[in-house]
């Protein structure tokens, strides 16, 4: 199995997923908990299949970017804390070369404070997170998305949400 295939289908992240879930300071059933991480993972993999983004980095972002949240409010700095923690986990729970590790750290650290990126992998990560805004009743906005497929998905989501409102 190729690395790409393993990143998409394999169970190699199971230990990391269990650790992140156990160590989460908040409620794992909350809006920033495990269901969100799973949806970000699915969104990110779908975008990556269309853009060539790094599948393993996208999956790791999904499980780590909100892992150091202390609450469900703004919690400024949770991205930087995630970046710091993941460098400690690197080597034991997952292995990336220096460039991919730097990409993952950047994506986690800046996922709330920066909007746009030219990097396909960072773009897939950030778009995947922002496409899950409907969980809190917010429509995703193309102006804050980076990838062509992320923008397409946002149009589908907006269409579904606005049609749903009309039919109520
Ligand atoms: Fe976040
Ligand atoms: Fe998030």
Q: Model confidence over 33-53: pLDDT tens digits?
A: 999 999 999 999 999 999 999
For residue 130, give the ligand nearest its CA. Answer: 2
Ligand 1 centroid to 124 CA: how many Å? 15
Ligand 2 centroid to 68 CA: how many Å? 11
For residue 133, give the ligand nearest its CA. Answer: 2
For residue 136, give the ligand nearest its CA. Answer: 2
Ligand 1 centroid to 1 CA: how many Å? 32
The total of structural domains in the chain comes to 1
28 has a pLDDT exceeding 50 = yes
The dihedral built from the CA positions of residue 78, 108, 157 and 46, taken in this order, carries a sign that is negative
Ligand 2 centroid to 49 CA: how many Å? 20
Q: What is the DSSP string of 26-53?
A: S-TTSTTSHHHHHHHHHHHHHHHHHH--
Given this model, what pLDDT does residue 163 score? 86
Q: What is the DSSP string of 140-162?
A: --GGG--SHHHHHHHHHHHHHHH
Ligand 1 centroid to 167 CA: how many Å? 32
What is the CATH number for 148?
A: 1.10.3210.10
Q: In this structure, are residues 95 and 49 in contact, taking their beta carbons and an 8 Å threshold?
A: no
Residue 55 and residue 68: Cα distance in Å, rounded?
22
Residue 53 and residue 125: Cα distance in Å, rounded?
9
Q: Burial of 65 by CB count in 10 Å (0-12 exposed, 13-18 middle, 19+ buried)?
A: buried
Ligand 1 centroid to 109 CA: how many Å? 9
Q: Range of 54's domain?
A: 3-167
For residue 132, give the ligand nearest its CA. Answer: 2
Ligand 1 centroid to 73 CA: how many Å? 10
Q: Model confidence over 105-151: pLDDT tens digits?
A: 999 999 999 999 999 999 999 999 999 999 999 999 999 999 999 99
CB atoms within 10 A of CB 123: 23
Q: Which residues pair with 92 in a beta bridge?
A: none
């Amino acid at each position: 199995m190729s690395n790409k295939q393993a990143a998409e289908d394999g169970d190699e992240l199971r230990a990391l997923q269990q650790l992140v879930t156990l160590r989460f300071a908040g409620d794992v059933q909350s809006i920033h908990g495990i269901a969100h991480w799973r949806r970000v993972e699915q969104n990110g993999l779908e975008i990556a299949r269309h853009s060539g983004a790094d599948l393993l980095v996208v999956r790791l972002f999904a499980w780590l970017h909100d892992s150091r949240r202390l609450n469900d409010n703004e919690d400024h700095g949770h991205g930087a804390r995630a970046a710091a923690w993941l460098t400690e986990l690197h080597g034991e729970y997952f292995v990336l070369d220096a460039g991919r590790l730097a990409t993952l750290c950047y994506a986690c650290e800046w996922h709330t404070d920066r909007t746009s990126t030219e990097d396909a992998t960072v773009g897939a990560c950030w778009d995947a997170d922002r496409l899950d805004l409907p969980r809190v009743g917010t429509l995703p906005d193309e102006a804050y998305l980076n990838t062509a497929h992320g923008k397409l998905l946002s149009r589908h989501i907006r269409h579904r949400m606005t049609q749903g409102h009309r039919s109520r």
